């Protein structure tokens, strides 16, 4: 946990006049996501990786009230894999008492290491959760096709955008008691579904990533739109795949 940086250097990592600085963006985007119902009740959040720095919100706080000075900064290259419960290397730890890094840390790392993502968003959107509830208990994935909004989603979250006629498929994994315990099953699903731009977690929410925060955000919006309309279609007994 010790940082090689002086206090001034560490603070400079999160204090900036640039609204596009990751510490400012995370604060702003969490406020926006709160209004969308994605991160209420302290759930959900976003992590941004900029080169060798990873910016993280704290765990268990009101996401819509995060300030830049609450942001953790970690070196992307950790001295050991950031496994659940593992001790991590930090460049900057907020001075406010009682804050610990997001419990999603190893899950965000999955996106950074397995997809070279520049940002990863986690939401508790009810559209995502209802969608998993409306799938049979043993369903391995959610599929949808013939929707314009599919065109806003990239192959594997970071490749070329999908076509209107492609079928989008997103794996659904089971939830666990502790958030970090999703690390391995999320990684396994990402390996089994290399084209998937996101991972749905049954009765919990979704993880979405992208090359940049802009792509992670716009893909989260496209996917949330698709989850919402898929729920409506299932309730109206309309098929999700095909155009009939």
Q: Which residues are annotated as a binding site for Zn(2+)?
A: 122, 124, 204
| CA-based nearest residue to 213, from 44, 52, 50 | 50
CB 112 → a second copy: shortest distance, Å? 22
* Smallest gap from residue 228 Cβ to a second copy (A): 7
Could you tell me the smallest distance in angstroms from the CB atom of residue 150 to a second copy?
9
Binding site, annotated residues for substrate? 104
Query: What does the alpha-carbon distance between residue 67 and residue 23 come to, in Å, rounded to a whole number?
Result: 8
- Closest approach, Cβ 243 to a second copy, in A, equals 7
Angstrom CA distances, 208 to 28, 87, 97, 196, stand at: 18, 25, 30, 10
Please state, in angstroms and rounded to a whole number, the distance separating the CA atoms of residues 51 and 233: 41
- Of 74 and 201, the one with the shorter C-beta distance to a second copy is 201
Which residues are annotated binding-site positions? 104, 122, 124, 204
Minimum Å distance from CB 191 to a second copy?
Answer: 24
Phi, psi (degrees; rounded to nearest 5) at 90: -125, 150
Nearer to a second copy among residue 175 and residue 211 (C-beta) = 175
Q: Which is nearer to a second copy, 62 or 95 (CB)?
A: 62
CA distance to 13, 58, 187, per residue, from 219 (Å): 27, 23, 20
CA distance 50 to 71: 14
Options 9, 148, 192, 214, the catalytic residue: 148
Select 129 or 199, whichever has its Cβ closest to a second copy: 129
Q: Are strands 167-173 and 198-201 parallel, antiparallel or unpaired?
A: parallel
Comparing CB distances to a second copy, the nearer of 21 and 204 is: 204
Residue 242, Cβ density class (10 Å: 0-12 exposed, 13-18 middle, ≥19 buried): exposed
C-beta separation of 227 from 131 below 8 A: yes
Judged by the rule CB under 8 A, the positions of this chain that interact with a second copy are: 37, 40-43, 62, 124, 126, 129-130, 133-134, 137, 146-149, 152, 163-165, 175-177, 201, 203-205, 214, 217-219, 221-222, 224-225, 228-229, 232-233, 235-236, 238, 243-244
Cα end-to-end distance, the chain, whole Å = 57
The question of whether 148 is a catalytic residue gets the answer yes
Q: Which residues are catalytic?
A: 148
């Amino acid at each position: 946990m010790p940082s090689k940086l002086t206090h001034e250097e560490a603070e400079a990592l999160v204090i900036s006049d640039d609204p596009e600085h990751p510490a400012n963006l995370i604060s702003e985007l969490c406020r926006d996501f709160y209004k969308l119902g994605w991160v209420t009740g302290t759930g959900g959040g976003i992590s941004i990786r900029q080169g060798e720095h990873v910016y993280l919100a704290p765990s268990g706080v009101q996401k819509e009230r995060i300030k830049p000075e609450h942001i953790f900064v970690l070196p992307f290259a950790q001295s050991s894999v950031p496994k659940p419960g593992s001790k991590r290397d930090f460049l900057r730890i907020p001075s406010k008492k009682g804050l610990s890094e997001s419990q999603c840390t190893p899950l965000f790392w999955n996106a950074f290491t397995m997809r070279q993502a520049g940002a990863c968003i986690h939401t508790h959107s009810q559209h995502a959760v209802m969608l998993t509830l409306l799938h049979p208990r043993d369903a391995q994935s959610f599929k949808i096709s013939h929707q314009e909004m599919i065109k806003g989603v990239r192959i594997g979250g970071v490749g070329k955008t999908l076509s209107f006629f492609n079928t989008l498929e997103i794996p659904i994994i089971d939830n666990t008691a502790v958030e970090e315990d999703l690390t391995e099953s999320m990684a396994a699903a990402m390996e089994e579904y290399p084209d998937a731009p996101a991972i749905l977690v049954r009765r919990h929410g979704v993880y979405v990533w992208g090359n940049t925060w802009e792509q992670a955000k716009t893909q989260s919006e496209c996917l949330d739109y698709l989850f919402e309309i898929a729920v409506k279609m299932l309730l109206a007994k309309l098929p999700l795949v095909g155009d009939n």
